[in-house]
Structure 1
Amino acid sequence: MTDARIKARKAWMSVLAKAPPERLAALMPDLPDHSVLRALEIGAVMVRGRIGASGAPFNLGEMTVTRCSVRLSTGQVGHAWVQGRDKTHATRAAVVDALMQLKGAARLKANVIDVLEREAATKAELRAGKAAATKVDFFTLVRGED
Structure 2
Amino acid sequence: MKIRYPEDVMKFIGNESVVDHFKLISKDGNSLLVGARNIVYNLSIHDLTEQQRLVWQSPEDDVKMCVVKGKDEEACQNYIRIMVVTSPGRLFVCGTNSFRPMCNTYIINESNYTLEATKNGQAVCPYDPRHNSTSVLAGKCLSMRIFY
Greater share of residues in helix: 1
Query: If each structure's strand is expressed as a fraction of its own residues, which one has the higher value?
Result: 2
TM tier, shorter chain?
under 0.3
Q: Name the structure, 1 or 2, with higher relative contact order (CA <8 Å, separation 6+).
A: 1
